[in-house]
Chains A and B, each alone.
Chain A
């Protein structure tokens, strides 16, 4: 089964669109496993200190939840709404922070592909027009900026297309994770006795040994292929 883990960060209702996406992927043999961080939840709102009749996003709480519940999880994609109708935080700023923290602290979420969506993409241009913003945007390496009205179709297509690309590392992680508790007794001495799940962590953290291990695995695989080839003869 081909699972795709997607984190949606949204402050409204995208139930039907997520469903639509699910159906689309399902038809192509991909199972959508989504988590939605709903920012319209009251716990993410606080009173505006300068105006008691107004509430604003509790940025600290949002970041805490992201750190505690999401940053160490494996997601293939992160999709974030751009407009939260809050002058202190928008989707671009949030995923910029999220990605920087993930990469800086070498968390699993750093492997995900990040995208933004909005019903009014031109709002992004109005707000983020400086050279600095442009530079941040490039560094962020966003996969795409979708129109909200066609997430199902556009993002679905993207997932399908990227599914056709081979990502050996991601594939290795996925396969090894299935046997996370199994102890490794193989010829790579450094990992001898480690659980496969632990080796997966090494790979995700891009350690020196994990790189050598991956190379070693490829060599072993090719060697095994050659053996098999010779056996056939």
Chain B
């Protein structure tokens, strides 16, 4: 047994296709704006009222004080029949059959846009009028009536069985007066007003910052931002304009950016010249037209057969590569950073399809790809652009949730691979994108500003780059993008980039010859490049010709090498030019190539004859140089021989030789010392001759001479151990340290006598300016006396009596002073007083008299303390004083 049944349309269907399906407020408004667009309205007003304060919580229904969104258009409007049969007819859309109306390709076509109203607010009032009708029609809908879960007047069974068409909505036919009174709006000739009341979302919130209250209008601004991007000015409005206005008068003082016309400033026109590619599949899907433009100049234009993308027609891909400077211009022009703007957007029939291209949406897989090759691939952060589809055949189906397009074959052919299994990125987008990428990466080397740019984090600039950018920005603050471009600096020169780009063009194009219909390469590029190469070579040639007389052979050789490099570079350029001419049929391109060929031939001719003559000249130069070199060597040898001969007979030089500081110092001391000796002897002779002497005087004079002779000997002895850079007669020394050092080497240097020395320094120190020679002689004398009287050990005790005085007690273990000497007391220091030791050996030294005399000159005194005071022998005490 069978029976006929039918689908039941439960009332909850409203939510399924309404507020539950459209889960974004902006999308809801977009759909309503699309409807206004499709209705042929020249503009649409999106008005927000009673957002700051309203009676939503107090009023069980709604009223004039409820929060509202009003969408008003001036399109063709509707009459009662339209409302009943079309607007209230779920999923009906005449736009399914009509592709164009009101001179516009229709944007919405699902027939569910009306339920956007449910998303936005609880109540809807539609006011509409057509041109021909005198009456206005007013439809009232309470969306709550459809939400059975809230309805207490129904039981469960009733809720289950309640169908959508059972819910009544009221339609009023009213005149102009009634319209004005009811709606509060001004009368209009035709159009639709959607008044959505008791809004479901908070469009602005009151907040507090630093004890000040303010209204956060971010949601409204985001709506503006969203609506700005959605319209592609290039496509939809060629035939008739469409403007969107947003009004929220409550917020006029809070934020000046909320109210006003919403314009698509982004893609209107980029006011600066960046690197871009533009590729279009024609309306029949037979040909592809591609061009790359760089800094305002077309690099090449290619017309090829569409072999791979048979499912695509009327599709355009337009992409910008943003280098460091382009990003700055972008921010300046749009007010937002390029990375916050988004990347590659999709427009179908003039309207943006969210969320493609929005920030963090990587619908084309660019970020994943970038991760596989950071330095080879461009990411969304450097790319801005759009894909525009004029879809009159409805090949691209927009998903009901208004979030994207159905992922079927045409979409795949556009975005990804022809063969899903291979997962190779060679859809039409990638076909175009990769050409731009090759140009930028291989040709321009990323157009980098500094040589060491880290592309992984190009938002955080390296210090050097940051400095360049900072200087650039300050120079171009008040300048337009066009003026500012003059201040751009790059790591490479333009010629280096041009050279590379030119050699890569074939690679960039990467099309089989049979598929090329036409190729145009900017003839200026060809000519400029060749010219620059040729100029570089000529410059080096001219330089060499100018300097050839003065250059040495080796320098000539290296200059020739340079010129050879230029020539090879030029030849490479010509080869590339030649291969391009094989592919191109463009007249201008071919003409430019012909010109450059002539230039090349001329250059080759003159180059070979030039090289020959220069080489010949260089060889002659080399021979001459070698000859001159030989002559010079012979001359030098003769001079050296002459000098040697001369030196054999030269005993004394006319000018003073330069001695070392040490030698100079030594000579100085010798002079002074020996002058005293000489003069002393002269005086002595004089005295003797004139019989003007006493015995004592004679002894004293002779003693003086002896002291100076000892000083000379001492000088010779210490010459190898002391430096003479500072005067040895006037040295600041630490007396204690000098004693220690002098006696350390005493044994080795000054005496054969076996002695041991014991020091007790008691941390003493006295810096004094004295004659080192004199001190050395004093020390020598004391020790030699001790040695004569059989001492083997000497103990020396240092002590600072005050900070400016030093006592040195010297005690030996010898026989000490004899009884005879002890008897004379201090007279042991008189001239001529002395004794002979037991074995009669000894006699060196200058005597105690001169010891005392020398010490006196050093502001020091010496006394005899006695025998057996410390060691068993004699003990003397020397006291040094600083004044």
Contact = CB atoms under 8 A, between A and B. Distances in A.
9 pairs of A and B residues whose beta carbons are closest in the complex: A42-B883, A16-B679, A43-B883, A85-B730, A16-B680, A149-B675, A85-B727, A42-B859, A20-B679
A45 B883 contact: yes
Contacts of B255: none
Nearest to A17: B679
Interface string A82-102: 011100000000000000000
Interface in A1-41: 11-17, 19-20, 23, 40-41
Interface in B762-798: 767-769
Most chain B CB inside 10 Å of its own CB: which residue of A23, A42, A152: A42
Given A45-B769, A119-B671, A20 B882 contact: no
Contact of B686 (A11, A23, A52, A122): A23
Interface string B713-736: 000000000000011011010100
A148 interface: yes
Interface string A120-143: 101000000000000000000000
Contacts of A15: 676, 704
A55 interface: yes
Interface string B376-391: 0000000000000000
Interface residues of B, number: 28
B727 A40 contact: no
B881 A12 contact: no
Given A19-B683, A119-B668, A53 B734 contact: yes
B883 A148 contact: no
B727 to A, nearest CB: 4
Contacts of A122: 656
Interface of A: 11-17, 19-20, 23, 40-43, 45, 47, 52-55, 83-85, 119-120, 122, 148-149, 152
B283 to A, nearest CB: 94
B865 interface: no
Contact of B730 (A11, A148, A149): A11
A85 B683 CA distance: 29
Interface of B: 656, 664, 668, 671-672, 675-676, 678-680, 682-683, 686, 704, 726-727, 729-730, 732, 734, 767-769, 857, 859, 881-883
B683 A40 contact: no
Contact of B882 (A16, A40, A42, A85): A42
A119 B656 CA distance: 15
A215 B882 CA distance: 54
B672 A40 contact: no
A12 B672 contact: yes
A13 B881 CA distance: 20
Contacts of A148: 671-672, 675
Contact of B767 (A14, A54, A83): A54
Given A16-B675, A47-B767, A119-B675, 8 more contacts: A16-B676, A16-B679, A16-B680, A20-B679, A23-B683, A42-B883, A83-B727, A148-B675
B544 to A, nearest CB: 50
Contacts of A152: 679, 682
Contact of A53 (B686, B732, B857): B732
A79 to B, nearest CB: 15
A188 B664 CA distance: 62
B136 to A, nearest CB: 104
Given A45-B769, A55-B732, A16 B683 contact: yes
A119 B672 CA distance: 7
B821 to A, nearest CB: 29
Given A17-B675, A148-B671, A42 B881 contact: yes
Contacts of A11: 730
Nearest to A43: B883
Most chain B CB inside 10 Å of its own CB: which residue of A40, A54, A83, A122: A40
A20 B883 contact: no
B683 A55 contact: no
Contacts of B729: 12
A41 to B, nearest CB: 7
A150 B859 CA distance: 28
A55 B883 CA distance: 12
Contacts of A55: 732, 767-769
A15 B682 CA distance: 13
Contacts of B767: 47, 52-55
A41 B726 contact: no
A40 B730 contact: yes
A13 B732 contact: no
B572 to A, nearest CB: 66
29 contacts: A13-B857, A15-B704, A16-B675, A16-B679, A16-B680, A16-B682, A20-B683, A23-B683, A40-B730, A40-B857, A41-B859, A41-B883, A42-B768, A45-B769, A45-B882, A47-B767, A53-B732, A54-B732, A55-B767, A55-B768, A83-B727, A85-B726, A85-B727, A85-B730, A119-B668, A120-B664, A120-B668, A148-B672, A149-B675
Contact of B676 (A17, A43, A83, A84): A17
Most chain B CB inside 10 Å of its own CB: which residue of A12, A16, A52, A83: A16
A12 B668 CA distance: 13
A227 B750 CA distance: 80
B833 to A, nearest CB: 22
A89 B683 CA distance: 33
Contacts of A84: 730
Nearest to B687: A23
B860 to A, nearest CB: 10
A83 B769 CA distance: 15
A20 B732 contact: no
A42 B859 CA distance: 7
A83 B734 CA distance: 23
A16 B704 contact: yes
Contacts of B768: 42, 55
A75 to B, nearest CB: 23
Contacts of B734: 53
Contacts of B732: 53-55
Nearest to A152: B679
B58 to A, nearest CB: 91
B682 A20 contact: yes
A43 B769 CA distance: 11
A13 B730 contact: no
A23 B686 CA distance: 8
Contacts of A13: 676, 857
Contacts of A12: 672, 729-730
A11 B664 CA distance: 19
Contacts of A45: 769, 882-883
B654 to A, nearest CB: 15
A12 B704 CA distance: 15
A204 B643 CA distance: 63
A12 B678 CA distance: 17
B726 A19 contact: no
A20 B729 CA distance: 22
A40 B729 CA distance: 10
Contacts of A85: 726-727, 730
A119 B767 CA distance: 27
Contacts of B656: 122
Nearest to A47: B767
B663 to A, nearest CB: 12
A12 B675 CA distance: 13
Nearest to A20: B679
A121 B858 CA distance: 27
A57 to B, nearest CB: 10
Contacts of A42: 768, 859, 881-883
Nearest to B683: A19
A53 B882 CA distance: 13
B524 to A, nearest CB: 68
Given A40-B857, A45-B769, A53-B734, A19 B883 contact: no
Nearest to B682: A20
Contacts of B726: 85
Nearest to B672: A119
A152 B686 CA distance: 14
